Structure 1
């Protein structure tokens, strides 16, 4: 059986106390309105509005250096992790039982997450298991 994945999020990691000013800056810089300054009600994520065929742009409050990372969404976390390991990636941490933090052979960190939007597509890749 095949599984699917695609790039879904560009995540701007922000070592700040308040995501409001960061969301305002990135909204103006990227020309995307602010969808939410507190996506989940816990102050950890802000979201900029993007079209359904674009990756979501999230701002994440973090305790590490500022950076940008990618999220790949999938309908099978384990199959996608195995596929990426076969390409040379390493599993770093399974967070809150919900997503994998991975490391590419280049040293870049990225996440494998469950499907993020109700419609799973477009630009969907299909991978044999």
Structure 2
């Protein structure tokens, strides 16, 4: 058995639109975009969506949204989502990028949230 939950909504922003998109989304949610010290491509929008990490990610690609799913067993969660119809796109470090039916991207990552929040909200899968 393993557990997982929606962890984050990520707004992927093309490099050339970074400044304008950062100002826009910061204004939409009424919170400053804080640059990540560890991952320079990310800016966090604190408390923009309750209980979900919300961030801007600068990408060398088109603008879109994607969801990060955190889990205590990455391989089991990837297998579960593939069985539901997702397809593999790529892997970067411990992040598995999948494409859902319909074309939406999602990432499967190890637990990133506070353990108490994960324990309270994660669903258990066989």
TM, length-normalised to structure 2: 0.86
1:110 maps to what in 2?
Answer: 106
1:81 maps to what in 2?
Answer: 78
CA shift, 1:105, in A, is: 1.6
2:62 maps to what in 1?
Answer: 65
Query: 1:19·1:45 contact (CA, 8 Å) conserved in 2?
Result: no
TM, length-normalised to structure 1: 0.84
User: Unaligned regions of 5+ residues in structure 1, if any?
Assistant: none
Cα deviation 1:23-65 (Å, max 9, x = unaligned): 332122123x2261x2135531000112895211110010001
CA RMSD, Structure 1 to Structure 2 (Å):
2.1
User: Please, which of 43, 47, 50 is the counterpart of residue 46 of structure 1?
Assistant: 43
User: Unaligned regions of 5+ residues in structure 2, if any?
Assistant: none
1:122 maps to what in 2?
Answer: 120
Indicate the structure with greater helix content: 2
User: In the superposition, relative to structure 1, how do residues 7 and 30 fare at CA in structure 2: closer, same or farther (>3 Å)?
Assistant: same
Deviation >6 Å, runs of 4+? none
Rounded Cα–Cα distance in structure 1 between residues aligned with 2:20 and 2:69: 27
CA shift, 1:9, in A, is: 0.6
- Report how many aligned residue pairs link the two structures: 124
Query: 1:11·1:60 contact (CA, 8 Å) conserved in 2?
Result: yes
